[in-house]
Structure 1
Amino acid sequence: MNRLSKEQYKPRYFLLSAIFLFASTLLFFIQCKPWNEYPTGSSEGERIWNLIERDPSLSEFATLLKQTGLDDTLKQAASVTVWALDNEHVTALPTEIKENNTLLKSLLAHHISTLRYQTAELNATLRIQQLDGKFANVSNVTFEEANIIGADKSARNGVLHIVDRPVFPQDNIWQFLSQYGDASLQKNWIESLDTLLFDERSALQIGVDANTGEAVYDENSEKKVANVYLDSIANLKDESKQFTYFVLQNNVFQSSFNKLSSYYSGISADSLYRLTGYSVLKDFAVEGLISLTELSGVLEATSGAKVKIDPLAVAETYQLSNGRVYVLSAYDILLEQKFPVIKIEGENPTGFSRTDKAATTFYRRKANPDGSTFSDIMVYGHLIPKFHIHYHLKNVPRAKYKVYWRAVAGIDDSQTVSFTQRLGIGNPELEVFPYQSVGLQNYDEVYIGEFTTSGFGDLNFYLIAANTGTTGQNTLSLDYLRLIPVFD
């Protein structure tokens, strides 16, 4: 597919549609037949192709069907609905369409559905899949922007309606993105995620990997392209869906990328590109069609995030076959939204410095002063100096963090005196933070200090007991750790 510049881009057939709109409107008012001059009623003994072929007002339409081979489709179809164009409206079609068999077939296929629809079944507007794979909004009086001017001529294998103008198939969101020149950075990033995988439905399995437990396939087996963005965020190629999608102009994408990239530093260039781009774009798809006035509210993206788009930043709007695109000339990234507070629950440890202290480790359910409950962990009476609890945290962005903990003791437990514990990061022997006293019956969150990660990646945290074996003095307690990113 040719890539067009921003100035050149129009959804497929856009210019031709505009030209035809004027001509067809004129014809509608000047030459339109009364409703009762169009075919209605039933010819259940005939197939739909025969209805079209023997109707003099549809002779030009029949000629185009023969030209594209779609007459055979109508002859063989078990069930079909056709929204046909009469001779006047076929004659008004641009020559560029009638002489290009690919465009012509695409247009005609968009006027055919492989299911049967009478107008009485269309009291509400339905999205109906057409022969070209795209969908059309159809009611009992309209076919997309066209009016139904002759309806419900029944045949043995279908229903025939007549409409007052052609309905040209639109590009889907992915096709738009592939052609819109000022969004090439966004499109290129999504394409960079393409991965060739074995198609499990047809691939020949020849074994199982002893290390990973994953299936091993014959190298000659069929493969498919997977894309984590299209597969998990929004399949912009899916004609059956309706998305509202936000597209960043190249300069906006680049500035957004630059703003976020430092939080992913310390990894390979390829990983940096993929993770930063994902952070920029993951919240840009919303299910359904959102109007411009609705953009001022809070939207729920397919990623689950709550997002807000400034309507004044919308430079262009496009209605496409599977949704609506807003092109943004500005985008204010909220770092607090991209990098939220990290909370580590005490009762979910990765491990311990020793594995023989299960009898002295207590996973508790406790009550707050307000009556609500919380879960925590306490290790009491373990007798080991510097005993520690280990927490492993994945994919921590590079940033400065303020650290807080909540450690509750002396309430319905054996702890009768205050004690000390400290937090280690990276290595339990490194004293990133000093020992801090844990008082009795204190429900308050306590500030521990600040630290800065050296790069994006996994982090290990250690809750370390006092350097003594004395019970009550080397207790460990943790409701949670809270890491709050600091944005300069």
Structure 2
Amino acid sequence: MMKIMKKHDILTPVIGLICMLLLQVSCSDPWDEHARDNEGLTNEPLLERLEKEPESSEFMKLLHASGVDKTLDGNNAYTVFVPENSRIQAVSSSLQNDAEALDRFVKNHIAVSTHRLNASADTVRLTMLSGKTLDFVNSEIDGAAFSKSNQAGADGMYHVITDALIPRQSLWEYMSDHNDELQNAFILSLNEYNLYDTAVVEDPADYYLNNEFLRNVGDMRDENQRFTYFVLKDADFTAEVEQFLPYVNYRNHADSSYAIGQYEIVKDMLFKQAYSKDNLPAMLLSASNVPFPVDKSAISQSVRLSNGWVHILDRATLPVVNKLVDTYVQGEEPSRFSESVTASTFHRIRKDPYGEFFKDIMVQNHKVSSLSIFYNLPRMYSTTYDVYWRALNDIQNNVFQQRVGVFEFNPRPSEEDPEIPVHAQIFQFPYTNVEQNDYNEVYLGEFTLEEYDRILTVLQGAATTDEGINTLVLDYLRFVPKLKTN
């Protein structure tokens, strides 16, 4: 039977829809929004609009004198940030007889495409025609406020700003200009000198490709990145290197050890965030996980750069003990096995009693006597290490044993057969029980590494083919370097 709708059943949704439409109209006038989105819009070319702007007259003189005005030919859209006349007058005299500096200055005020006033807290990085990247945030560009904004022409937009955007040096340019300072000179020397035999194929398009600092710590040439860099005065830098030499004994070669000591000091002086002196946190963490305590009272000078800040220290602030950070070996990330046991290898996800998830590796029922799992470690300091593991035996009803060995990373010819490469043993820990359901770290003992170098660590199972007895399991190994007392 067809249902007959009552009159009020039809009117109720209609009335609701009308109310919603009235509410939208009362809150927002689409013509007002259209006007705001096109504030200052005309069909005039951008150059003509700039010529009529009272506060752009001084900048326009520089624009024409540099020849950059020919770039604003209507074929592409640009945004011009125009400093007020008084700000241009303050710097124009220094540009009159330097065509290159004039060109760079003018281009540092022009960005490709149109960019409206950014009043949000989100930083937008604008690449200027100068090649510099400026931060555009909170109604400011590179710290200069807006006195007039969103003036749009047919082929672009301009804003009037309260300060000139002086092109700043990048960190790499600053370092190159201050190459008489020992710390900077060392980093620059890596353009020609490699610490390790890790040089990549030379690329004619990138002369600096083999600089290990740029490649491994931070490419300070990059205008799109942001850096904070601390510089020690020459005497302090030398003292820090000499203090650290006992930890970087490289094959008893004094020159190589000293160069590596310099690298170990400077690699923890660069951070991939930009902090002014006022905004520096109490502690920074370097790329190699070294905690760097910030003592603002030790900063004698700060220099703002296009891609960060340099802070000059009048004394060293990073204790040696801070640089001796723990090295972790994750069990689930081996480099290889002594034999293929893929079908018996399990990468597991477990949860500890505190509710934290972790990954580990378990190799079970593989029928291989003395099965070994190999792990490659980074370069390690020449000192003594305490070694721990966490190994969870949670699915077997018996205790089993395994052990850890430390070997030289680079292979040597075998004494029995020179054609077979072997890794010389540095230290072998004894077999240790893997107790049931033990989530705690277990201390294995200590060993001494006489030379600064990479090492190979090996987790080895019991010398038997019996299932359940030769199981291997590992969450992680932890190597804790010790501070030398003499």
Alignment TM class, shorter chain as reference: 0.5 to 0.7
Matched residue, 1:245: 229
Q: Do residues 332 (structure 1) and 318 (structure 2) align? A: yes
Q: How does 1:24-103 map to 2 (within 5 A)?
A: 42=40, 44-53=42-51, 58-76=56-74, 78-84=76-82, 90-93=88-91, 95-103=93-101
Q: Structure 1 residues 232, 423: CA separation in 2 closer, same or farther (over 3 Å shift)?
A: closer
Please say which of residues 477-486 and 105-114 is displaced more in the overlay: 477-486
Q: How does 1:178-327 map to 2 (within 5 A)?
A: 178-180=176-178, 184-194=181-191, 225-226=208-209, 227-267=211-251, 272=257, 275-292=260-277, 295-302=280-287, 306-327=291-312
Q: Structure 1 residues 262, 114: CA separation in 2 closer, same or farther (over 3 Å shift)?
A: same
Q: Which amino acid aligns with 1:225?
A: Y
Structure 1-normalised TM-score?
Answer: 0.65
Show CA shifts across 1:177-196 (max 9, x none). 222367x3332333334379
Distance 2:174 2:376 in 1: 39
Distance 1:43 1:438 in 2: 78
Distance 1:44 1:360 in 2: 71
Please say which of residues 428-437 and 99-108 is displaced more in the overlay: 428-437
Show CA shifts across 1:25-73 (max 9, x none). xxxxxxxxxxxxxxx9857343222334466775554333222111212
Gapped regions of structure 1 (runs ≥ 5): 1-39, 197-214
- Aligned-pair distance for 1:109? 1.9
Show CA shifts across 1:261-295 (max 9, x none). 33232346676456444432334344444354554
Structure 2-normalised TM-score?
Answer: 0.65
Q: Structure 1 residues 109, 400: CA separation in 2 closer, same or farther (over 3 Å shift)?
A: same
Distance 2:367 2:90 in 1: 91
SS at match of 1:318: strand
Matched residue, 1:27: none
Distance 2:263 2:405 in 1: 32
8 Å CA contact 2:228–2:309 kept in 1: the answer is yes
Q: Which amino acid aligns with 2:453?
A: G
Matched residue, 1:11: none
SS at match of 2:297: helix
Show CA shifts across 1:375-432 (max 9, x none). 55678987x7xx57464544333212234567888983566xx989796866999896
Q: Which amino acid aligns with 2:300?
A: A
Please say which of residues 316-325 and 230-239 is displaced more in the overlay: 230-239
Matched residue, 2:448: 452
Show CA shifts across 1:115-161 (max 9, x none). 32444x55667543322122345568655455544555432222344
Distance 1:285 1:303 in 2: 10
Distance 1:346 1:163 in 2: 55
- Aligned-pair distance for 1:79? 1.4
Q: Do residues 115 (structure 1) and 110 (structure 2) align? A: no
Q: Compute the RMSD of aligned alpha carbons.
A: 5.0
8 Å CA contact 2:329–2:375 kept in 1: the answer is no
Distance 1:370 1:406 in 2: 14
Distance 1:114 1:275 in 2: 44
SS at match of 2:231: strand
Show CA shifts across 1:312-349 (max 9, x none). 32222222222222222322234354441455749958
SS at match of 1:230: helix
Show CA shifts across 1:89-126 (max 9, x none). 5555453322322222222222222232444x556675
Matched residue, 2:197: none
8 Å CA contact 2:55–2:160 kept in 1: the answer is no
Q: Do residues 401 (structure 1) and 385 (structure 2) align? A: yes
Gapped regions of structure 2 (runs ≥ 5): 1-37, 194-199, 409-421
SS at match of 2:208: strand
Distance 1:423 1:220 in 2: 40
Q: How does 1:381-400 map to 2 (within 5 A)?
A: 387=370, 389=372, 391=374, 393-394=376-377, 395-400=379-384
Q: Do residues 487 (structure 1) and 473 (structure 2) align? A: no
Please say which of residues 360-369 and 446-455 is displaced more in the overlay: 360-369
